[in-house]
Amino acid sequence: MRSKFDEQLESLNNSLIEMGAAVEQAIADANKALVEHDVELAQKIIESDDEIDNKERDIESFCLKLILQQQPVASDLRLVSSVLKMITDLERIGDHASDISEITLLLANKEYIRNLDIVPKMAVATMQMVTKSIDAFVQKDLKLANEVIAYDDTVDRLFTALKKDLIELIKENADNGDQAIDLIMIAKYFERIGDHATNIAEWVVFSLTGMHKKSKIM
């Protein structure tokens, strides 16, 4: 009986890895489409968001079946319930990649008012956070999960730096206002992606310790 359950948990891990990879690719493509004014890629990201939504539903259904059929207790229940929380954050990350792409379409025929060097840095940072948070879960690595949580400060600093820069551009020339606001929104979406990756890492900590944000739940 336990052997069967272990196989199901391994399948759950693999599904989570696949969803994480899809989300990571969405972030990378959203950044590429923005920087390169790639309208086709931006449209593809928007359309492919349904695939991430479907992955969330499939994993959710699988988790609920595990709970009903296997009636896991203690650490196993924490693990499955953590996955249910994590896929919600992964789905929201996919939504934010789509949101970024929608703004990219609006900016497609416009020259950017500043170099977008900070945006790719935010994209790389958040992709790493997503990857490491999933790795921490699969490998049951508490240290790695805590590293992801701490790294969110780096993304926050990048967002603050870009926001300040864009606000200065608005002060210099009010005509920069519309695009500056769009770019601040894009940066905010990347910052929110970092927050969701942090949430995932916090649920990894919970799955391993029963503690969530220093409060014992289970």
pLDDT for 189: 97
pLDDT for 218: 54
pLDDT for 211: 85
- Residues 183-217: pLDDT tens digits? 999 999 999 999 999 999 999 999 999 988 766 66
Does the structure show a pLDDT above 90 at 50? yes
pLDDT for 115: 86
CB environment 146-158: b (16+ within 10 A), e (fewer): eebbebbebbeeb
Check if the beta carbon of residue 121 is closer than 8 Å to that of residue 128. no
Residues 6+ apart with CB under 8 A from 135: 141, 144
Does the structure show a pLDDT above 80 at 158? yes
- CATH class belonging to 2-216: mainly alpha
Q: Where are the domains of the chain?
A: 2-216
pLDDT for 152: 96
pLDDT for 69: 87
Helix axes 118-139, 2-36, angle to 10 degrees: 180
SS3 (DSSP) at 218: coil
Rounded to 5 degrees, φ, ψ at 140 are 55, 50
Eight-class DSSP state of 151: H
| 2 confidence band (pLDDT: 50, 70, 90) | low
Question: Please, what sign has the CA dihedral across residues 182, 113, 49, 194?
Answer: negative
Average pLDDT over residues 53-69: 95
pLDDT for 214: 60
Q: How many whole angstroms separate alpha carbon 156 and alpha carbon 151? A: 9
Average pLDDT over residues 3-28: 93
- Residues 95-153: pLDDT tens digits? 999 999 999 999 998 999 988 899 999 999 999 999 999 999 999 999 999 999 999 99
Does the structure show a pLDDT above 60 at 1? no
Closest to 18 (Cα-Cα) out of 48, 52, 45: 52
SS3 (DSSP) at 115: coil
**pTM across the whole model:** 0.93
Q: How many whole angstroms separate alpha carbon 104 and alpha carbon 141? A: 37
